[in-house]
Every structure is written in C-alpha cells, then in structure tokens.
Amino acid sequence: MGEVGDDTDYEGEFALIMANQSEDDYDEESGRVRDWVMGLPRSSELPPLNQSLVPPELASAFQIPPEPGHSAMEVDRASHQTFSSLRRNSQPVSNSNVKPFIPFNPSSHTPNHMASATADDADSTAGLDDPDQDQSARTLRRPRLVWTPQLHKRFVDVVSHLGLKNAVPKTIMQLMNVEGLTRENVASHLQKYRLYVKRMAGLSSEGPASPSDNSLFASTPVPQSFTRDSPQVPVPMSYAPVPGMYPVPVFGMGQHHHVNGHGHHGMGMGMGMGMMPITGGSHGSGGYGNGFGPSASYPHHVNHGDK
DNA sequence: CACAGAATAT
DNA sequence: CATATTCTGT
C-alpha cells in the first residue's frame, strides 16, 4: 500500500506482480549504473514517465493520493531512493519528494477466513500481537515474481546484448534495471531460458506447430547468436528504469495456483483489474494479448526492491 | 566471500 | 508448469 512514489507506468512495461508479501532483501548495489545512465538511449525506449496510471478507483481503494507528475529524472531518482531507503526503515531519503512505498499489499496470508476458532490459535497471535509492528524486518518473503512478456522481453534484450557468455545473473539484473528484481529472480529465469534455447537449438525449422506453445519463451524470439557465440562488445546499453508498479489487487492468484480455469479464457478477472497501462500505443506487441498464448492468464506485477 | 549454475523444492 | 530455494563448485 503505500505510496506510490513513482508509479509511472511505462507503456505498460513491466509489471511484475508479486502475489505475496514483500520482503526485505539486501540487494544493494550501485556501481556502474552511472555509465549506462550517461549513455542513455534515444527516446525510442523512453516512454513518458510521468503519467500516473492508477485509475481513480484503485487509487482510492488503495488510498493512493493523487500523483503529481514527475519528470523522468525524478522518477528515476525516486525509484532508486525509495528502494534504497526502503530497506531499512530508518533514514528517509534526503529528498522529501519520495515516499517509501511498500510494494505489496498487506494481505499476505489471510489464511483463515473464517474463524476457525480452533482453540489453539487463540493465543498465538490473536489479538495481542500487533501485526504491523516489527517483524517486517526479515522474515517476510518476497512475492513470486511473474515474468510478464514485457519483463521477459527486457530480459531477452539484455541477454542478447551481452554475449551469452557475459549474460550472467548479476549483469543481467543490472542492465535490466527493474526495481525489485533480484539476482535470484534472474538466475532462475535464466536457467530456464537457457534450457529453452538449448532445446530449440536442436529444432531448426520451425515446426513447432504445437499450438500449445504458450510458453513465455515461445513468444520471444531467441537471438540467433545464442546458438553460437556472440561476443558482444562492451557496448553499454541502458534501459530506462522501470518504475515500480503498484500492487494491484490480485485476487486469488498468487500463492495458490488455480487462478482460473484452465482452458477457459481466463482472464476475466485475473488481470482485468490491473491496470494495464495504457498508453497507448507504443508497443505494438506489447501487451498481453499478444505474445502469449491465447488463454494465458496474466498476472500482473510489481515489484520493488532495488538493485 | 560473492557469484554462477545445477539441482531440488514449492 | 513457473519460480524459489538450496546445494556446489569456482
């Protein structure tokens, strides 16, 4: 809940949604970010950063105050600061502009709906313990990251930019510049991605007529260079920072699978709610309906954290 | 020790 | 199945 200090949307770029609780993570790194920033790309990749996309309804639901417009720079700085400071709730960033925002919804567990007043639970956490007291420190788990097509796209772009050889989690993570993305998230995805690439390498002709290839990977072309080696030179690439998205009320998804039915087109609610960003226009293919499978249900996303 | 990568676990 | 977490080796 909290604030959305910088939730500008990026043409609907990444939305990582995490379904669960947020967690602290100690990923702090800074370093060559500067370099990339300097060599910023043309405007091709830089969408308007200042629109607030939280629909009024959601905003009110989340108690998100109306957002002032931000400039790209502000947004950039804001996201960095926000997350940096977020880690340890102590120091506010010097800049008062940014407010710490908590990445996800509070509702983490909400395990028992009903009362289930089984005798036992009464004492443990019942009414005495303040849930929102401490404890937020380190025992919270990060919500599962959802690799939306947009995110994956960025991932692939970065990976192809570095040679396969240089494409290691940490670097990828840094270049992707998605707040909240952790090295682990990337490592895991990379593992799968490599597998996919490998698998595909064997199948040259297209052939996979399988309509079922909904896989996220299927939607994003694998750079040929992958099969062979691709020694990319140190060409710095830089991606615009990804603003944190807000926590969209994801319903049932998240931990428990069973999002919607299988074969049915499920997006009914799943994503609807979100706010898929608007913005029109820019990405021809960006969105959900496109790259993925027909009935893929898409979660949204959001994340937080910092590099 | 931090990291990458494979192996497991959820 | 998609991600996360754990385990190994460097």
* A186-202 pLDDT, tens digit each: 999 999 999 988 888 77
Q: Where are the alpha helices (DSSP H) in chain A?
A: 33-38, 56-62, 72-87, 121-125, 149-161, 169-176, 183-202, 216-219, 288-291
Helix (H, G, I), strand (E, B) or coil at A264: coil
Whether A214 CB is under 7 Å from strand B: no
- In this prediction, residue A161 carries a pLDDT of 87
Provide the mean pLDDT of chain A: 54
Angle A146-A164-A224 (CA atoms, 0-180°, nearest 5)? Answer: 90
- In this prediction, residue A266 carries a pLDDT of 38
How distant, in Å, are the alpha carbons of A31, A32, A183, A185, A233 from that of A86?
Answer: 19, 21, 18, 19, 35
CA A162/CA A157 separation, integer angstroms: 9
Q: What is the pTM of this model?
A: 0.51
How many angstroms is C1' of C8 away from CA of A187?
Answer: 15
Residues 6+ apart with CB under 8 A from A287: A12, A149, A150, A276
Tell me the range of A92-106, A241-255, A267-281, A283-297 where mean pLDDT is highest: A241-255
Whether A194 CB is under 7 Å from strand C: no
Whether A283 CB is under 7 Å from strand C: no
Taking the C1' atom of every nucleotide in all shown strands and the CA of A186, the nearest one is: C3
Assigned token pair, A99: 């407010």
Share above pLDDT 70 across residues of chain A, in percent, rounded to a whole number: 25
- In this prediction, residue A43 carries a pLDDT of 39
Judge whether residue A92 has pLDDT over 70: no
- In this prediction, residue A169 carries a pLDDT of 96
- In this prediction, residue A23 carries a pLDDT of 37
How many angstroms is C1' of C8 away from CA of A56?
Answer: 50
Buried b (16+ CB within 10 A) or exposed e, A234-260: eeebbbbbbbbbbbbebeebbeeeebb
Q: Which of residues 35-94 of A touch strand B (CB under 7 A)?
A: none
Tens-digit pLDDT profile for residues A68-82? 434 444 444 444 444
- In this prediction, residue A191 carries a pLDDT of 96
- In this prediction, residue A207 carries a pLDDT of 61
How many angstroms is C1' of C6 away from CA of A191?
Answer: 15
Please name the residue whose C-alpha is nearest to the C1' of nucleotide C1. A215
Taking the C1' atom of every nucleotide in all shown strands and the CA of A152, the nearest one is: C2
Judge whether residue A13 has pLDDT over 50: no
How many angstroms is C1' of C4 away from CA of A241?
Answer: 25
Whether A212 CB is under 7 Å from strand C: no
CA A264/CA A270 separation, integer angstroms: 12
Beta bridge partners, A242, equal A178
How many angstroms is C1' of B1 away from CA of A216?
Answer: 35
Taking the C1' atom of every nucleotide in all shown strands and the CA of A145, the nearest one is: C3
- In this prediction, residue A79 carries a pLDDT of 45
Task: Select the more confidently predicted residue: A219 or A28.
Answer: A219
Judge whether residue A154 has pLDDT over 80: yes
Judge whether residue A220 has pLDDT over 80: no
Taking the C1' atom of every nucleotide in all shown strands and the CA of A195, the nearest one is: B6
- In this prediction, residue A174 carries a pLDDT of 92
Share above pLDDT 90 across residues of chain A, in percent, rounded to a whole number: 12
Judge whether residue A235 has pLDDT over 90: no
10 Å Cβ neighbour count for A2?
Answer: 18
Task: Select the more confidently predicted residue: A190 or A299.
Answer: A190
Assigned token pair, A275: 């706010």
Which class for A228: exposed (0-12), middle (13-18), buried (19 or more C-beta within 10 A)? exposed
Task: Select the more confidently predicted residue: A236 or A72.
Answer: A236
How many angstroms is C1' of C2 away from CA of A259?
Answer: 13
Tell me the range of A153-162, A239-248, A258-267 where mean pLDDT is highest: A153-162
- The answer to whether A275 and A12 have CB atoms below 8 angstroms apart is no
Task: Select the more confidently predicted residue: A190 or A17.
Answer: A190
How many angstroms is C1' of B3 away from CA of A170?
Answer: 8
- In this prediction, residue A128 carries a pLDDT of 43
Protein-covered nucleotides of chain C (CB closer than 7 Å) are 1-6
CA A165/CA A187 separation, integer angstroms: 14
Average pLDDT over residues A6-31: 40
CA A251/CA A235 separation, integer angstroms: 42
Taking the C1' atom of every nucleotide in all shown strands and the CA of A191, the nearest one is: B5
Please report how many Cα atoms fall inside a 13 Å half-sphere around the Cα of residue A191, on the Cβ side.
Answer: 5
- In this prediction, residue A5 carries a pLDDT of 34
Average pLDDT over residues A220-232: 62
Helix (H, G, I), strand (E, B) or coil at A52: strand
Judge whether residue A97 has pLDDT over 80: no
Tens-digit pLDDT profile for residues A117-153? 333 443 444 444 555 555 555 667 778 999 999 899 9
- In this prediction, residue A170 carries a pLDDT of 95
